[in-house]
Structure 1
């Protein structure tokens, strides 16, 4: 790779070797530019980072010692670094910025807009929660597209949304709410994702100081899967290209996983590809399923049934009801595992969405009944669904003053069972709560077990455990009364007293505790900065927030978490568990498996994307005189999904279909024609 050569744009489909080619380019660059020179390497998530590092390691035993960032990670890092410069351009007072987590952002925006959101606006979105969430999503879409917040109403007027409601006053109101939120955040020093994107695109990227920083800091630019990046990345790429700095990009024609979630692949391609040398990578010969089945499958999806034979290596599981489908799918997989045809870690169940019935069925049949480990990929469950977290919340209502209205009496028996390590069974716990709990608005409490008239029915172990729990609760209350009432310190105290040996907990319980503590720290930090609530009010709001179920954590194993870099977890290389995933997460994490089971094949949700509300209004137009890009059709999306998944299946695909959905409706979707041509 010669210094100052023309940028290179590498196009290919999934799993054709683009990342390996990029790794080779980085390795060649490293031979020309030894340390301390370093390139800027960008990938879309943590899994992509792992894949790239693995390829570099094959070429260089020392690997790559520098940082590989996600686009959001780079943007957040540089906005924080140059925040004084940004404040100077905005002519506002410099404050240490705090990034808002989505759930905190939701709460603060709801409070700020409480008097401004009209009933008409709420009726459009269904309820207040969804209304606030959709408006905040608009800021992220606009920021990622480099569109000033004040221009959001103009963008919306060119969208399908505005054509539907036909009311300009609604879009103007949305613009006013967004501007109010933006100004309030800047005044307080709060940054959400949308504002971070906007500050980067409109104030930092055009800055000469920042351009000089980039040129001094990095001597090369390498981006993998640029089709998943936001459109503002084009300005960054052009900075490097204009200064004749080595630049290499890979583009996945069947990727575009994040289209509708702030990615703008067509605009990036339109702007950057003409500036580059173009190389197209062909599909690998060993991609049997993709090379042999892609054309006939796509013909069937398009309704062309001529000259189509039975699809080799494609089997089907067809039932009338969804319950039968789940059962037969599990039995098929278990039989194959027991006959040593395949290992659990070589199987993936892929579905457009996972409802509670499917989740419970898989957990029960695979793990509880047959001991087969399963992994739900990047699944988020509410923290309040964890019994340990509910127990800690119950303790907080008992130790802090004025929390009586938030005590859930029905959850106190569960608290006793959890805190006693099940030395108190649920029946005796209910008897104790019925007789010993004293409700009080200011100071609810649990009395001594002797207040239970038939305490002789309690075992010695139960009595001792109950008394020990009461003593520890009184210990915490005494500490609070002495002034040591910091929420984080009290939560830490509760964990130390009741869960002293974390090694005894399951990994998902530890993950929930970790997320709970991080949420409490963030919530406390925000409320401390606002400074308008007492400690008891902060505790009340925190309890309410957690119980709403908006805070989530992975209920099973979580690997390589790096929240500061907006990374995602690595599951495709894990061993020991059958993978269960949504279509989006499977594609986003670049997974590959020998066998794939496509659940609910006949569902119409297979061809429906996950795009944010009105996302098409913020896609940059690539045709002259066009105001916006049209929303991608279902036909185009399903073709891309099928091509992508075929590339990620090595041996066999099972189409799993039930005539009736979980709600009892008939299922006829874009993939339904495939079912008639399977073995």
Structure 2
């Protein structure tokens, strides 16, 4: 019998081998378990090992890579089940839902997870009802009137508060107190609405009341959100003796990578395991903390180190170890004029447009001259606007250099195929005339009438516009496509275009007839039929198009699952046409994006230039030979931006209860900037190129704190492609 092992805390900065050490410890633990059960059959040992260990990773990309590494390390001898913290908690909530609906006196029904955009949509409807109820009529006297973007932002922030509280293990009833005491001079959210007579305590209490109402509304209908998953897990499921018994008897090992990016409640879970003699291996990066501000609580998780044997790794990457302190010092000392070594160079221009072109052309030149390969290059920016994204993709693609934007959140409605399918729904179902214009009809005619070889549209844009102008009958209840002869000069449309138009009109009529005969009612079925009949037979679909169509069908299915559940509770449900109109308008607002599943490759992955925001690049936890730091003199490098949720510092376990001040925010920004610089330097092997323009995209002068890095670097002399 093997001796009980002490849990291990592996700490080190970026790329010091923490994950590699975790994999070794995992192999040792597996071998230890096999020795303990040497008399058991191979199959029973395999099944026992696969179910007795918990393996966690910070995000989905890292989860897949860690699972692959562990599987290779044990030669695929048993399946590796690696989860993110929220993914594992969601599975546990679903698995032990009967315990929860007994504990909370809920209706016995399987829970449905709301997507963020659906959560926002339903919460907005509940908010409007919430504000009109008699007991909330005092809101009218408080000046709390929200419309448009103000309403959207208020609700999004309020929902984020539920997620922050749940991830931290804080009761939602305490949210008003936290907001009142944590924000200097109360909230300033509604100042732009000139609510000067508003009491300072109204808004925090209002947020708290609405969160409780939203939580109760969701639980009664069996809906889950990420915030509710966190709350249900730490507050109701984890304390249950039956559930704790399951954890103790099932799991004997925990391996958690990048603990600095985990929510606070995972510390309580891991502490429970350690207190019950489970063996744990944890890795921690003090320069990481990428998700600090997005539910992570690294300082609270660090307390686990006192229960483990410490192992500090210090084999730093060269650039980080040699120049990390110097770069951090220069970034915090704007008066410094110290020169930087040759591994730091810069591209400098006056306008940002010129900077984007010069940077893209420089990358093309270095790749064409065989100095680097596409997979050696990463372009990293504090924020990627569409101009920058388009410029890099356009110039590099024109030079036949592959480029991949990380986690590209492209709106579904921006795909012509998706827009055409929604237009088809407007012609099949009644009552949707207000959702579409003649331009939408013309685009549909072009998009859905391609040749089978996809070389050109049978109905080109000019003909499509003429047909839409003459043959689209605009009616609110029954919009329709009229016969081609309605166009006075229909003979000029051409035989192929006329035949293609007739096929499309006949398909719409037949499908509309089937819908009216109630052979099927679900738009999911109509969309599936349209994809099969009108798209798959005509298109050689690209990976991006397939991803968009998959996301559209999954979104449609999700929306109608939610609608079906809502109809069980609403005595006066909306008409199906009204529901369909809401669905189409939700997509048209661009809030739903296509999120392609990651591609797996047999053998070596093809090389490409990586384009990412700082947050995306750090989350990926990869490295490159060359890094291009875009907009280096922008003050966005110093700000958390979208990676810090509203009031996130107030929901850290270390919050003392005192009011946060601008000085606190400044210190947090400076600490984040130092971590970013050290982390990025740890992920570069040879060269960092600072990309600076005197003027921002808005035409204002850029004087961020990292401008000193540009001043201390050697400027690159560019040889432009168009001047060769």
Structure 2: gaps of 5 or more residues: 35-44, 132-138, 189-198, 451-456, 568-572, 715-724
- What are the residue-to-residue correspondences of 1:309-458 with 2, within 5 Å? 309-367=339-397, 369-421=398-450, 422-458=457-493
Cα distance in 2, alignment partners of residues 16 and 125 from structure 1: 48
**TM-score, with structure 2 as normaliser:** 0.88
1:80 and 2:94 are equivalent in the alignment: yes
Q: 1:40: which partner in 2?
A: 54
**1:475 counterpart (491, 506, 510):** 510
1:249 and 2:288 are equivalent in the alignment: no
Q: 2:254: which partner in 1?
A: 221
Q: 2:173: which partner in 1?
A: 150
CA contact (8 A) 1:413 1:433 kept: yes
Q: 2:563: which partner in 1?
A: 527
Secondary structure in 1 aligned to 2:181?
A: coil
- 1:302-325 deviation per Cα after TM superposition (whole angstroms, max 9, x unaligned): 217779433331110010000000
Q: 2:219: which partner in 1?
A: 186
**2:268 counterpart (212, 235, 257):** 235
1:559 and 2:598 are equivalent in the alignment: yes
Greater Cα offset, 354-363 or 46-55: 46-55
Greater Cα offset, 26-35 or 69-78: 26-35
Q: 1:268: which partner in 2?
A: 301
CA contact (8 A) 1:621 1:628 kept: no
Give the C-alpha shift of residue 628 in structure 1.
8.3
Corresponding pairs, count: 662
Give the C-alpha shift of residue 283 in structure 1.
2.6
Give the C-alpha shift of residue 468 in structure 1.
1.2
Give the C-alpha shift of residue 150 in structure 1.
1.3
- What are the residue-to-residue correspondences of 1:579-594 with 2, within 5 Å? 579-594=610-625
Cα distance in 2, alignment partners of residues 527 and 307 from structure 1: 62
CA contact (8 A) 1:3 1:246 kept: no
- 1:21-53 deviation per Cα after TM superposition (whole angstroms, max 9, x unaligned): 111111111011133133111111232224423
Q: 2:637: which partner in 1?
A: 606
- 1:597-645 deviation per Cα after TM superposition (whole angstroms, max 9, x unaligned): 110000111111120001111111276x879895562211111001000
Cα distance in 1, alignment partners of residues 652 and 605 from structure 2: 36
Give the C-alpha shift of residue 98 in structure 1.
0.6
Give the C-alpha shift of residue 288 in structure 1.
2.0
- What are the residue-to-residue correspondences of 1:478-497 with 2, within 5 Å? 478-483=513-518, 484-497=520-533
CA contact (8 A) 1:345 1:574 kept: no
Cα distance in 2, alignment partners of residues 358 and 304 from structure 1: 27
Cα distance in 2, alignment partners of residues 95 and 123 from structure 1: 35
**2:76 counterpart (62, 82, 90):** 62
CA contact (8 A) 1:619 1:628 kept: no
Cα distance in 2, alignment partners of residues 423 and 503 from structure 1: 13
CA contact (8 A) 2:405 2:612 kept: yes
**TM-score, with structure 1 as normaliser:** 0.94
Secondary structure in 1 aligned to 2:255?
A: strand
Give the C-alpha shift of residue 408 in structure 1.
2.1
CA contact (8 A) 1:121 1:131 kept: no
CA contact (8 A) 1:290 1:643 kept: yes
- 1:335-390 deviation per Cα after TM superposition (whole angstroms, max 9, x unaligned): 001101111121111111111111111122111x2222111100101111111111
Change (3 A) 1:655 1:502: farther
Give the C-alpha shift of residue 64 in structure 1.
5.4
CA contact (8 A) 2:376 2:609 kept: yes
CA contact (8 A) 2:186 2:201 kept: no
Greater Cα offset, 171-180 or 529-538: 529-538
Cα distance in 2, alignment partners of residues 29 and 125 from structure 1: 56
CA contact (8 A) 2:187 2:203 kept: no
CA contact (8 A) 1:399 1:476 kept: yes
Change (3 A) 1:501 1:16: farther
CA contact (8 A) 2:449 2:538 kept: no
CA contact (8 A) 2:71 2:80 kept: no
Cα distance in 2, alignment partners of residues 584 and 418 from structure 1: 36
**2:318 counterpart (274, 288, 291):** 288
Change (3 A) 1:551 1:424: same
Q: 1:565: which partner in 2?
A: none
CA contact (8 A) 1:47 1:590 kept: no
Secondary structure in 1 aligned to 2:128?
A: coil
Cα distance in 2, alignment partners of residues 502 and 289 from structure 1: 52
**2:66 counterpart (52, 59, 68):** 52
- What are the residue-to-residue correspondences of 1:10-159 with 2, within 5 Å? 10-34=10-34, 35=45, 36-37=48-49, 38-57=52-71, 59-62=73-76, 65-117=79-131, 120-121=143-144, 127-159=150-182
Give the C-alpha shift of residue 7 in structure 1.
2.0
**1:512 counterpart (548, 551, 567):** 548
CA contact (8 A) 2:67 2:81 kept: no
Cα distance in 2, alignment partners of residues 502 and 276 from structure 1: 61
CA contact (8 A) 1:56 1:64 kept: no
Cα distance in 1, alignment partners of residues 445 and 292 from structure 2: 48
Change (3 A) 1:503 1:424: closer
CA contact (8 A) 1:527 1:533 kept: no
CA contact (8 A) 2:380 2:614 kept: yes
CA contact (8 A) 2:367 2:374 kept: yes
